[in-house]
Structure 1
Amino acid sequence: MKSRFVIFVSLLALLQGVIAQTTNELPFHKWALTPPMGWNSWDCFGPSVVEDEVKANADYMAANLKESGWEYIVVDIRWYVDNQTTGHYNAYDKSDFIIDEYGRYMPSPTRFPSAANGAGFKPLADYVHSLGLKFGIHIMRGVPKEAVFNNMPIKGSSYKASDIYSTAYECTWLQDNYTIESDKPGAQYYYNSIFDLYAEWGVDYIKIDDLSRPYHDKEIEMIRKGIDQTGRPMVLSMSPGATPLSEHDHARTHANLWRTIDDFWDNWAQLNYSFGVCADWAPYITPGAFPDADMLPLGKFIRGERAHDRYTNFTKDEQYTLMSLWAMFKSPLMFGGNMPDNDQFTLDLITNDEMLYINQHSHKNQEWSNEGGIITWTAEDPANGDLFVALFNNGGDGFVKTQNLLYRSGTVSRLTDGFGEDIDIELPEGADQLFLIVNDGGDGHACDHANWINPTVELADGSTVELTDLNWEYATSGWGNVSKNKSISGGKLNVKGTEYEKGIGTHSQSIVLFKLPENSVRFKTFAGLDLGGTNQTGGATVEFMIATEDPTPREVEVNNAIANTGRISRTLFPEGKKIEADITGAKKLYLVLTDAGDDLTFDHADWINPTIINKKGKSLPLTKLDWAKATSGWGNVSKNKSLDGNPLSVNGKTYKNGFGVNAYSIIEFDLPKGYTKFEAFCGIDDEVLNVEKGATVEFMVFTEDPSVLSSIPVTLDLNKFGFSVPCTIRDVWKKSDIGTYRGDEFTPEIRTHGVGLYRISPVKKK
């Protein structure tokens, strides 16, 4: 029997749970009443795009996408560097900057021939406009260092660049500019001068980087004034994220778009992380002002920062998931691949008019529920009250499972201030294990040296325990060996030039497990990129995660278990653990033993005194029942003896009643009626204690088939949606009606990493 998740929603909660998405309040909101749709050169060309490549993408958009609403062509970073030919962009001393007499960047005439003789981007903008499209550019906040060093005058004023700059808050990942201090005379004049220039060129869209993290409110306010004084509509996009959620009102009142995360790339871990971020930001969507989930890394990449001559790594299911989430979240849609290389699937994906309608015109957008691996989003059609529903299956996470994590950092890279994140989190009551996880940040490069600096556990009495004073249960790493008080490459722990005495040096694809001291209540650390990775070309993009439940994938769907022991080994709970589960109403019982992540096979273990109990307290040992089926990873499941035929023995004590098994195993029972509780004692059998490797297990209890499913049936109860009449349900991606349903009749199968996107329309009486 397959697992089944039933999503219950009510119209009352739907009406109460959303925050009203109001009409525009500010003049510049009118410039982007719906989320902008376009192409940006970053993903496919990095900082090295040239004019012919921009024109080729503009031509493709005009011929294939314009009728679907796609309209912006945006030239991204460092268009003002004459010798920029690769994806490496932070090379100030080796860059040939093109700059005018007023300290304003100008397009490279080598890369953009039409910009020669001071023409700037006007000829290219005119070309884009002639196709019925709009033109945009990327800049960094601040004033060029070249303008400061050469003491260039600021146009329209008596001030010079050296009068307005500060070295404070200099961008950590691109060091072309200095900060502009808002309280210095001449500061506003400089921003006015560059936006006057862009207005002359015909710029319609301006993406400004290094504004949102940390949040530079004063420069944002100068930028807003600078754009407004030109009189030309220019959509303002602030980057990168994560923009602080607390700044939502300031962002909305000064920009059309603001980034919610760091750079987004084509890997499941980042897409999976985006669900939570989009849910947090959804209440702040308003016409003309949109939280931005970042670009769409789809199609073919040519020579981008993290992508060279390849197509997207997203599967087709993941691409549907990406577009569905961005549509339901009303994110701006900025395509990242080289559009002339699009295949038919990609073209059909991004021109589906019903999906785009949701992105452009729906309202009351929100995450409705997140349970059992199924994430549900809802939105309404303001034209007729139809309900849009997206059902996402975010199971199957790969290296680790992310559904029960205690903490996720999101991507940490050279773009992250300080190259790391301070972590201070509360531990769940009764937590007895702590998993420190470093995953690859999605770029596929291996230079991901990372450090857990001063990892400390606080106890209930206020005392602290440093994890470096404890021995870990196990430590695995994608490269090298996890190290204590030194980096994974053997040097001192060093994050962005600061050395530390205590910590754990590791690498991406790593898990370090500690047994927590009793009464642990908090965990604190600084998690950062080690110098051993950041001083190498490529790589140095990771995500830090923390869990108190074992996150490693299993042969079964762990989240469906009704009880589990967690990891048991020779050193972690060698005495064994008791397990209990509520089985009220269950018809089946599955006792599962799975390997706990080391992939070694000496995992003889015992279910001791497995018993079911009814409401009156009467007990029935399972050893008195015949199992329906029993399998074991090695040997045969044994009743009342160990797998090798010896007496059941755990931690030196022998038992008469139980089952001897080896991971991976399942014992399936048909339950008699009236039993409400299961209990057992679980442990590793002593007969493998002298075997060198293995003996790491986890015991789990299920009342439904524990097999991992490639798809999950999800029931939508239309009554709970507030629909008391029959409803027509339409598949948005297939653009076809599925049928008319009542109540809980509609149960689609949602594939792993896939999505079902539906329009629900009540049938009106004739």
Structure 2
Amino acid sequence: MNLLKTLGRGVLATALALPLAAAGLTAKAPPAAASDNGLSIRPAMGWSSWSFVRRWPTEAKMKAQADALVSSGLKDKGYVYLNLDDFYQKCDANGFVVDQYGRWAIDEAKFPSGIKALADYVHSKGLKFGFYVTPGIAKNAVTRNTPIEGTSYRAKDIADTTRQEKNYNCKNMYYIDYSKPGSQEFVNSWAKQFADWGVDYLKIDGVGSHDIPDVRAWDKALRATGRPINYALSNNLAIADAPTWRQLANSWRTQGDVECYCGPGPNGSGHPLTNWSKITSRFTSAANWQQYAGPGGWNDLDSLQIGNGDQIGLTADQRRSHMTLWAMAASPLLIGGDLTDLNATDRAILGNERLIAVNQDGVAARRLVNSGNQQVWHKKEADGDHVIALFNTGTSGNQTVSVNWSQAGIVGAAAVTDLWSGQSGGVVNGSYSATLRPGETRLIRATPQAGSTTRYEAEGASYSAGSTVDSNHGGFSGSGFVNTANAAGAYVEWTVESATARDAALTLRYANGTAVVRPMDVVVNGTAVAANRAFGPTGAWTSWADATLTVPLKQGTNTVRATATTANGAPNLDYLDRG
């Protein structure tokens, strides 16, 4: 199945725009280098064992979930990863039992056929197989001083026995000293074992900033296998190191577990799996981390707690809001519920192709409104459509949630489609409102109408290092403006769509609160259309002015870059309007 065709034109248009990223342009700012392993160009979709199966995975349970992923029709919607999380290992009193090379041994009672046989079964269903590990080297490996495969080194040569790594199962994991020869080779041998078994996705858990050497080592080891393995980091990672996570991995957990551990079973297992506060806590982290998401690397809000009706701990309205936030944030969609007991409501939620298209469009949404129980989120897709989500996050009382088109950078009228129902909302001018029940969401696609102006906010563009998105001077459109670095060469670059090749009017809105001109070169598709154009004083930083010029646009995707030509930098830039 051609998923892009199935999911809609926004996804397809974004996919066609990907060569821009390959050429070094970023989808949003600040720029952060993405992993170049070629994987996770779109957020991963599938199922993970932790939420429901928890500490008791078995071969039979994993096969049953694989079967259900296919029979439910969700595989055909794009949910293709079947991920085995923790507690597949064998432990003794000293921690993990290990093989002859110091790697974790599999619990044969749970997986009598072995992991390779399970991966083969998953692959036979047209799915991909995911696996799990944590940093470090097992105490039993050090005690036995096991050899490191293919080398003359042994476990004691690389272990730092003064420090223990975080581990949630057998514990007793020592740090690896990566200054010691044999350390990278140990991780390489483990990664090669996973690749030989047929692993397609690897979650490395218990990761903190102190584990960056491990994260680098695993990235290097996975690449060395020659097998494409989607590389995920967990959990509650530090946002201060976000550029590092983005450079090395394909996804990273932005918070702790979404599970509430409030069920009646051992260790809080069983239903309910989560609660509404666990979901609503993700709004802030999604907003804070938004700038780091993009093709090749995604902010992971944790598993989707959807599938088994209200017993999962959320009402139907809350589950739709849960799905909407994950879709808008471009988070991986990894279902946590029991696929063998899907109800019709949740199958429809998970399988809604319009929602999946929003998730898979390669754009992480920004938050426009955060007021009490009201949230509004927005993203602009590569084809020029705007996707807007309105939420009532409260637990009692209806809320009328509104968004002005100007907040989303829409000028003129827009045709509205409700993405949950697929129904048309007609052509709307000025603003959009919805009265929402507690926990309810409204997700719309707004398509600017022919002949109207299309607005591209500067804060949604790419910009040079040292530039910032600010909101300390009033009168701006959207959520802020770009204050470039005070340097020649500082720039803002927009990606502008055009349905046809034509001459178009472009209007730059700017403010210059100084007494001197701040000239800029304006370059379209690599060709200068206005050299050293003057952007004079506007009287104050809160006084905004328009500069309009006519430029040639090609059909499809265009780049428009405004670059400061003096050491004073550019004026503050609010938006670019395309007529």
Instruction: Give the TM-score, by structure 2 length.
Output: 0.67
Q: Distance in 1 between matches of 2:30 and 2:228?
A: 23
Per-residue deviation at 1:108? 1.9
Alignment check: 8 A CA contact 1:362 1:379 kept: no
Q: Distance in 2 between matches of 1:294 and 1:719?
A: 32
1:99 counterpart = 2:98? yes
Counterpart secondary structure, 1:197:
helix
1:194 counterpart = 2:203? no
Closer, same or farther: CA 25–41 of 1 in aligned 2, 3 Å: closer
Q: 2:228 is matched with which residue: 208, 229, 233? A: 233
Counterpart secondary structure, 1:188:
helix
Counterpart secondary structure, 1:363:
coil
Per-residue deviation at 1:362? 4.5
Q: Distance in 1 between matches of 2:319 and 2:250?
A: 26
Q: Percent identity?
A: 32
Q: Which amino acid aligns with 1:70?
A: Y
Counterpart secondary structure, 1:270:
helix
1:717 counterpart = 2:414? no
- Corresponding position of 1:737: 424
Alignment check: 8 A CA contact 1:38 1:334 kept: yes
Alignment check: 8 A CA contact 2:34 2:297 kept: no
- Corresponding position of 2:243: 249
Q: Distance in 2 between matches of 1:98 and 1:736?
A: 57
Q: Distance in 2 between matches of 1:173 and 1:136?
A: 18
Alignment check: 8 A CA contact 1:78 1:139 kept: no
Per-residue deviation at 1:282? 0.3
- Corresponding position of 1:206: 202
Q: Which amino acid aligns with 1:755?
A: T
- Structure 2: gaps of 5 or more residues: 1-26, 260-273, 453-579
Q: Distance in 1 between matches of 2:140 and 2:401?
A: 59
Question: Hey, which bits of structure 1, 4+ residues long, moved more than 6 A?
Answer: 21-24
1:751 counterpart = 2:445? no
1:284 counterpart = 2:307? no
Q: Which amino acid aligns with 2:131?
A: I
- Corresponding position of 1:516: none
Closer, same or farther: CA 752–23 of 1 in aligned 2, 3 Å: same
- Corresponding position of 1:76: 85
Q: Distance in 2 between matches of 1:203 and 1:19?
A: 32
Alignment check: 8 A CA contact 1:256 1:289 kept: yes
- Corresponding position of 1:322: 322
Alignment check: 8 A CA contact 2:328 2:364 kept: no
Q: Distance in 2 between matches of 1:68 and 1:22?
A: 32
Q: Distance in 2 between matches of 1:176 and 1:292?
A: 27
Closer, same or farther: CA 364–298 of 1 in aligned 2, 3 Å: closer
Closer, same or farther: CA 722–219 of 1 in aligned 2, 3 Å: closer
Counterpart secondary structure, 1:55:
helix
Per-residue deviation at 1:721? 3.8
Closer, same or farther: CA 275–26 of 1 in aligned 2, 3 Å: closer
Counterpart secondary structure, 1:216:
helix
Alignment check: 8 A CA contact 2:36 2:296 kept: no
Q: Distance in 2 between matches of 1:192 and 1:203?
A: 14
Alignment check: 8 A CA contact 1:215 1:244 kept: no
Q: Which amino acid aligns with 1:753?
A: G
Counterpart secondary structure, 1:311:
helix
Alignment check: 8 A CA contact 2:307 2:337 kept: yes
Q: Distance in 2 between matches of 1:366 and 1:179?
A: 38
Counterpart secondary structure, 1:148:
helix
Per-residue deviation at 1:736? 1.6
Per-residue deviation at 1:224? 1.2
Alignment check: 8 A CA contact 2:361 2:381 kept: yes
Q: Distance in 1 between matches of 2:138 and 2:347?
A: 39
Closer, same or farther: CA 200–720 of 1 in aligned 2, 3 Å: closer
Counterpart secondary structure, 1:27:
coil
Q: Which amino acid aligns with 2:204?
A: I
Q: Distance in 2 between matches of 1:240 and 1:23?
A: 20
- Corresponding position of 1:34: 42
Q: Distance in 2 between matches of 1:100 and 1:311?
A: 41
- Corresponding position of 1:109: 108
Q: Which amino acid aligns with 1:327?
A: A
Q: Distance in 1 between matches of 2:32 and 2:209?
A: 29
Per-residue deviation at 1:710? 2.2
Alignment check: 8 A CA contact 1:723 1:762 kept: yes
Counterpart secondary structure, 1:752:
coil
Per-residue deviation at 1:52? 1.0
Number of equivalences: 409
Alignment of 1:232-381 (within 5 A): 232-241=227-236, 243-265=237-259, 266-300=274-308, 311-363=311-363, 365-381=365-381
Alignment check: 8 A CA contact 2:329 2:364 kept: no
Q: 1:727 is matched with which residue: 414, 417, 425? A: 414
Q: Deviations over 1:295-341 (max 9, x none)?
A: 1223349xxxxxxxx93001111111111111111111111111011
Alignment check: 8 A CA contact 1:21 1:285 kept: no
1:126 counterpart = 2:120? yes
Alignment of 1:57-76 (within 5 A): 57-63=65-71, 64-76=73-85
Alignment check: 8 A CA contact 1:24 1:286 kept: no
1:764 counterpart = 2:456? no
Alignment check: 8 A CA contact 1:380 1:386 kept: yes
Q: 2:214 is matched with which residue: 197, 204, 219? A: 219
Per-residue deviation at 1:351? 0.8
Alignment check: 8 A CA contact 2:392 2:401 kept: no
Alignment check: 8 A CA contact 2:320 2:441 kept: yes
Q: Distance in 2 between matches of 1:277 and 1:107?
A: 35
Alignment check: 8 A CA contact 1:24 1:288 kept: no
Q: Deviations over 1:713-734 (max 9, x none)?
A: 2233335544343322111111
Closer, same or farther: CA 757–215 of 1 in aligned 2, 3 Å: farther
Per-residue deviation at 1:126? 1.1
Q: Deviations over 1:614-669 (max 9, x none)?
A: xxxxxxxxxxxxxxxxxxxxxxxxxxxxxxxxxxxxxxxxxxxxxxxxxxxxxxxx
Choose 1 or 2 for highest CA Rg: 1
Counterpart secondary structure, 1:258:
strand
Counterpart secondary structure, 2:304:
coil
Counterpart secondary structure, 1:229:
helix
Per-residue deviation at 1:33? 0.4
Closer, same or farther: CA 714–37 of 1 in aligned 2, 3 Å: same
Closer, same or farther: CA 23–250 of 1 in aligned 2, 3 Å: closer
- Structure 1: gaps of 5 or more residues: 1-17, 83-91, 116-120, 302-309, 397-708
